[in-house]
Amino acid sequence: MPNLKSPLLVGGASERRDFLGQVDAMAATTVEACYQCGKCSGGCPLSFAMDYQPRQVMRLIQLGLAEEALASRTIWVCATCFTCTARCPRDIDIASVMDALRVLARRRRIQPGDGNVVVFHRSFLNSVRRYGRSHELGLLLGYKLGTLRLTEDLVLGARMLAKGKLSILPETAKGRAEIAAIFAEAARGEGADVGSAGPRAAGAGSPTAEAGKAGEAGERP
């Protein structure tokens, strides 16, 4: 676990403030309001897999430690379940902060420590762009082919198919033209193909979040 007791501050005071202000603006929240109560970390269902706990990521941003925050495993492990946001007594939208950090990491071409993260995001976003919603079996196949982890979870996958938990054929959502426009706009804004790089996850205001909203208008099983 990284030690935050004696952080090595990077750059000057102005640079640190710029990073904090940039994250605040992108997430539409106020990270500096965090007083390190730890409720976000205590309620996070994935904290066991993180290098920095959510409260520690907030502190990194407050200190202006952009490199440490953007290179952390935590921002990619985050499932954007919004438990931290709901629990925060300071009304900080922590899930959207994680989303903003992922965007900044992609903009600065900082690769996640686990390359499989990029493969998963690419497979997920390609599925949403193609069908307007996630096709679980297609997402799984894309991930397996991209990582070459072909033999893992075969028994579990077969059981899920047998119980009807995985649909063989994808279902398409209404409003696919609108979803395509969201992806096109995101690609122009980020200067990259969101389907191939997966710069943003499903946090508030992200392309995939907006695609999800559009998908909500479509048919559900």
Residue 4 identity (one-letter amino acid): L
Beta-strand runs (E) in the chain: none
Residue 117's pLDDT is 82
Q: Is 14 exposed, middle or buried (0-12, 13-18, 19+ CB in 10 A)?
A: exposed
Residue 33's pLDDT is 95
Residue 11's pLDDT is 45
User: How much is the CA Rg of the chain, to the nearest whole Å?
Assistant: 18
Residue 47's pLDDT is 94
Rounded distance, CA 44 to CA 36, Å? Answer: 15
Mean pLDDT by 10-residue block, N- to C-terminus, for the chain (221 residues)? 44 75 95 95 94 96 94 92 96 96 91 80 89 89 89 87 87 87 81 44 40 38 34
Other beta carbons within 10 angstroms of residue 109's beta carbon come to 8
Half-sphere exposure of 156 (CA within 13 A, CB side): 6
DSSP 8-class letter at 7: -
Instruction: Note the pTM of the prediction, 2 decimals.
Output: 0.68
Instruction: Find the DSSP H helices in the chain.
Output: 13-27, 39-43, 54-62, 66-70, 74-77, 83-87, 94-107, 116-131, 136-147, 154-162, 176-190, 194-197, 207-216
Contact 195, 122 (CB under 8 A): yes
Residue 165's pLDDT is 86
Residue 191's pLDDT is 55
Residue 220's pLDDT is 36
Rounded distance, CA 54 to CA 39, Å? Answer: 9
Residue 151's pLDDT is 85
Rounded distance, CA 128 to CA 216, Å? Answer: 12
Residue 120's pLDDT is 87
Residue 121's pLDDT is 83
Per the listing, tokens 């710069």 go with 199
Contact 179, 128 (CB under 8 A): yes
